[in-house]
Amino acid sequence: MTDAHPTFSPGLSGVPVTRSSVSFIDGTRGVLEYRGISVNSLATKSNFVETAYLLLFGALPTPSQLATFRQDLGEHRRIKYRIVDLMKCLPEGGHPMDALQAAVAALGMFYPGVDVQNPKTQYLSAVRLIAKLPTLVAAYARLRHGDDYLPPRDDLTHSENFLYMLTGRVPDKVLSEIFDACLVLHAEHGMNASTFSGLVTASTLTDPYTVVSSAIGTLKGPLHGGATEKVLIMLTHIGSVSNVRPWLEARIAAKEKIMGFGHREYKVKDPRAVILQQLAGRLFSHYGSSPMYEVATEVERVNESLLSSKNVYANVDFYSGILYERMGIERDCFPPVFAMARVVGWLAHWMEQVKDNHLFRPTEIYQGKHGLPYRPPDDRNLAEL
């Protein structure tokens, strides 16, 4: 037996695992489209709720479809008191992503997702999950500090309500619009690891709460949803604009990766980073700049000369953490906020999967031994085991 195998692609790199019409990525032209519409248009002209409808159902809603969807989402923001109690019992030092995963799995005990191929079940489950995730994220973020859980408010938009439940203050329009655009930009991104994880789980025809909780577990990893926090740690280490060039040159000479730069798909600047940079400009010109933001813009300027020859540019994680921190979101809550947006993409792919379901059951290349005898305990040589 050898390692070589004609069809083996580590990490399934480049291997199509499904047919999909949810989103399209062209990494050489820097294009990302949701259902054929550029993410740039959606981030600047649409909003998260309308974009969620587009991703789930394949077309932009009519005014009455949008009104119904918005109302349904508003009505399902609340969570059962038992779920709040469950989160109160979790360790306050635990990761918010683990709390979110546990709470979403528990939701499935309150709302059993039977008959998952039924469009009515799908609609209701999708509405519940999109509506309740922000409440769960904000609830744990407060409860772990000993603060009261703030129930959702019906009079606020999806994004205003989340920031209100998190901070206790109704955000102003500029802040909530920028946050909403961040959610649009994170809502979907093709067959990434967490979406694939959700797809595998979905293919067993289990309930959507289990699908989403498995995707949350995958998103948590540092190679996926954890990079945003690392960007802020890096910017804190750099500390000042004057230290940017020597710091970057030393890291690149040592073959270290600069956080928030490079992407497996994009060989030009990530189109989401382009928009996030504009949003950061708007946020900091409105609320006043910060040393962190000034260091970040200098990092991007210097990296242009150091890394562009390798087609390495800023990715979605470079500016999003700076924006979130300025909005009062704690660093370990960045991945749960990512999940609040990406739940839409997970659900859109779940619906596609169960519509024409095939159980995922890939194969493997066996590299172990054959035909060994069974030896009784006293006759075993440890060195052979």
By CB under 6 A, name the binding residues for ligand COA.
227, 252, 257-264, 307, 310, 312, 315-317
Q: Give the Cα separation of 283 and 261 in Å (integer).
A: 22
Tokens 């060195």 found at: 383
Write down the least CB distance from residue 32 to ligand COA, Å: 12
Write down the least CB distance from residue 383 to ligand COA, Å: 38
Write down the least CB distance from residue 243 to ligand COA, Å: 17
Q: Respond yes or no: is residue 358 known to be catalytic.
A: no
List the strands of the sheet with 23-26, edge to edge: 23-26, 31-34, 37-38
Write down the least CB distance from residue 238 to ligand COA, Å: 14
Q: Which residue number, 254 or 385, has a Cβ lying nearer to ligand COA?
A: 254
Single out the catalytic residue among 76, 189, 263, 349.
263
Q: Respond yes or no: is residue 72 known to be catalytic.
A: no
Q: Which residue number, 169 or 257, has a Cβ lying nearer to ligand COA?
A: 257
Structural tokens at position 112 = 């059993």
Write down the least CB distance from residue 126 to ligand COA, Å: 25
Q: Which residue number, 227 or 292, has a Cβ lying nearer to ligand COA?
A: 227
The answer to whether residues 360 and 199 touch, using CB atoms and an 8 Å cutoff, is yes
Rounded (10°) CA dihedral 54, 55, 57, 61: -10
Write the DSSP assignment of 112-164 as a string of letters.
---STTSHHHHHHHHHHHHHHHHHHHHHHHHHTTTPPP----TTS-HHHHHHH
Q: Which residue number, 127 or 227, has a Cβ lying nearer to ligand COA?
A: 227
Q: Which residue number, 273 or 347, has a Cβ lying nearer to ligand COA?
A: 273
Alpha-carbon Rg for the chain in angstroms: 23
Could you count the other beta carbons within 10 Å of the beta carbon of residue 5? 10
Single out the catalytic residue among 180, 207, 270, 317.
317
The residues annotated as belonging to the active site are 263, 317
